[in-house]
């Protein structure tokens, strides 16, 4: 008889991982849920206790021990561990917001004289930070088209240190070919960072392709209930350690209660994202066939320019659908004012469906011509799908679209 071999351990599914990632049980006092350690500082038994702690910290963070809340918190640390496991990262840091995560990371990796490449179809505040704040610090930023990796490669210079993009992007859901992006970056010796907020670890894990760092606005899908501000960066232990040192100086730490709400949201992440994937796909297909819709932007549609890339590297296409109505600024506003279920609000990723007109919500101060220069059309609508029944959302959108004059 051939020798018996032990089969490899079965990898748990994503709902199992969402529920249990980061849990180091038993929790204090055998609590079922992660306790909220609401403290700003920590005590020591004696000066010798303090001396031993400080000596140990010379070699790096001391697990389960710190002296001040800006340097760590048990609730926050538990959530960071769970997020690192979901992303397949060596470590992760939880921040006070998604913008705190991206800005602190960029300030950690870039210095005066460095050059940064950013794709154009990215969150406007990220673009603003790169083009204004970093410029004041002597760091130059080039914008390149999100779908043009040839242009991106051509923009690399000897002083280029970092390539930054979202994938999928906001609001046109462009999906970068991460495998090719990594090849370009590694050939040039350049670090890469992907904001994967729209995808979540359920749909896409950029680190698996060789991306150096992944960022999320945890406010969105990870927390999932529109009741917390938080952000996360995940990557190798060495890179994350560098960013954590900057965090300790900058002070954009996540408070323990916000961390707990993120932990609560992670428990249902896989369930929510899968439901939102399915509903968004149905809505996108409905909208693409509607006579009052000119174009739909959703990676799950064959008409999307990055559909093939998305099919190859994503496990789901996400819960955001952008579409252009038949008409102008007023026509888009009329649709938004006519829906009954979606709520007019910024943000995305929560259990409620949200709807917005980017021309008004994010680019109101610009003229129509100026908005077009940054790729925002007046008739564009962005829909963030919640967990309502797809049939109800379809019926609601249909009646709203039919009201266009």
d(CA 104, CA 129): 11
d(CA 101, CA 95): 6
Set 114, 195, 306, 378: catalytic member: 195
DSSP class of residue 207 equals: G
Set 91, 121, 123, 298: catalytic member: 123
Q: Is 220 a catalytic residue?
A: yes
DSSP class of residue 6 equals: P
Q: Are the C-beta atoms of residues 360 and 369 closer than 8 Å to each other?
A: no
- For the four alpha carbons of 259, 263, 268 and 270, in that order, the dihedral sign comes to positive
Q: Is 123 a catalytic residue?
A: yes
Q: Is 70 a catalytic residue?
A: yes
Set 220, 275, 371, 382: catalytic member: 220
Among candidate residues 204, 200, 192, 129, the one with its CA nearest the CA of residue 164:
192
d(CA 122, CA 374): 10
**Any idea how long the chain is?**
405
SS3 percent helix, strand, coil of the chain, rounded to 5, is: 40, 15, 40
Among candidate residues 395, 386, 397, 322, the one with its CA nearest the CA of residue 354:
386
Pairing of strands 293-297, 320-325: antiparallel
d(CA 405, CA 391): 24
* Most distant CA atoms of the chain, gap in Å: 78
| 25: helix, strand or coil | coil
Set 23, 42, 57, 70: catalytic member: 70
- 18 burial type by CB count under 10 A (0-12 exposed, 13-18 middle, 19+ buried): buried
Collect contacts of 327-330 with beta carbons under 8 A, ≥24 apart. Answer: 327/292, 327/379, 327/404, 327/405, 328/378, 328/379, 329/357, 329/359, 329/360, 329/368, 329/378, 329/379
Among candidate residues 61, 66, 77, the one with its CA nearest the CA of residue 27:
77
Pairing of strands 213-217, 231-235: antiparallel
Q: Are the C-beta atoms of residues 215 and 129 closer than 8 Å to each other?
A: no
Question: What values do phi and psi take at 339, rounded to 5?
Answer: -70, 155
Q: Which residues belong to the active site?
A: 70, 123, 195, 220
């Amino acid at each position: 008889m051939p020798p018996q071999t032990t089969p490899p351990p079965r990898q748990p599914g994503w709902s199992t991982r969402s529920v249990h990632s980061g849990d180091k049980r038993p929790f204090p006092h055998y609590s079922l849920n992660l306790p909220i350690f609401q403290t700003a500082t920590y005590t020591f038994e004696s000066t010798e206790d303090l001396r031993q702690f400080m000596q140990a910290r010379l070699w790096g963070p001391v697990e389960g021990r710190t002296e001040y809340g800006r340097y760590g918190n048990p609730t926050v640390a538990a959530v960071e561990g769970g997020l690192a496991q979901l992303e397949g990262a060596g470590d992760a840091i939880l921040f006070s917001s998604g913008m705190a995560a991206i800005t602190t990371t960029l300030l950690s990796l870039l210095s005066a004289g460095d050059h940064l490449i950013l794709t154009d179809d990215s969150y406007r505040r990220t673009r603003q930070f790169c083009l204004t704040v970093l410029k004041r610090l002597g760091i130059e930023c080039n914008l390149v088209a999100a779908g043009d990796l040839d242009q991106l490669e051509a923009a690399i210079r000897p002083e280029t240190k970092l390539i930054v993009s979202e994938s999928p992007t906001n609001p046109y859901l462009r999906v970068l070919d991460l495998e090719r992006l990594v090849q370009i970056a590694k050939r040039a010796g350049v670090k890469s960072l992907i904001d994967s907020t729209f995808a979540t670890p359920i749909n896409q894990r950029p680190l698996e392709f060789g991306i150096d760092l992944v960022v999320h606005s945890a406010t969105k899908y990870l927390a999932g209930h529109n009741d917390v501000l938080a952000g996360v960066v995940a990557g190798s232990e060495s890179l994350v350690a560098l960013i954590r040192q900057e965090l300790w100086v900058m002070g954009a730490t996540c408070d323990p209660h916000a961390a707990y709400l993120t932990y609560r949201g992670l428990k249902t992440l896989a369930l929510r994202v899968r439901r939102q994937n399915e509903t968004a796909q149905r809505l996108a297909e409905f909208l693409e066939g509607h006579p009052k819709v000119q174009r739909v932007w959703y990676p799950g549609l064959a008409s999307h320019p990055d559909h093939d890339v998305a099919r190859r590297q994503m496990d789901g296409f996400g819960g955001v659908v952008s579409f252009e109505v038949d008409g102008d600024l007023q026509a888009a506003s009329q649709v938004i004012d006519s829906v009954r279920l979606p709520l007019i609000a910024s943000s995305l990723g929560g259990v409620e469906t949200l709807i917005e007109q980017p021309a008004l919500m994010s680019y109101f101060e610009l003229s129509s011509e100026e908005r077009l220069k940054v790729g925002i059309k007046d008739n564009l609508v962005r829909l963030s799908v919640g967990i309502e029944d797809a049939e109800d959302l379809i019926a609601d959108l249909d009646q709203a679209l039919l009201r266009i004059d």
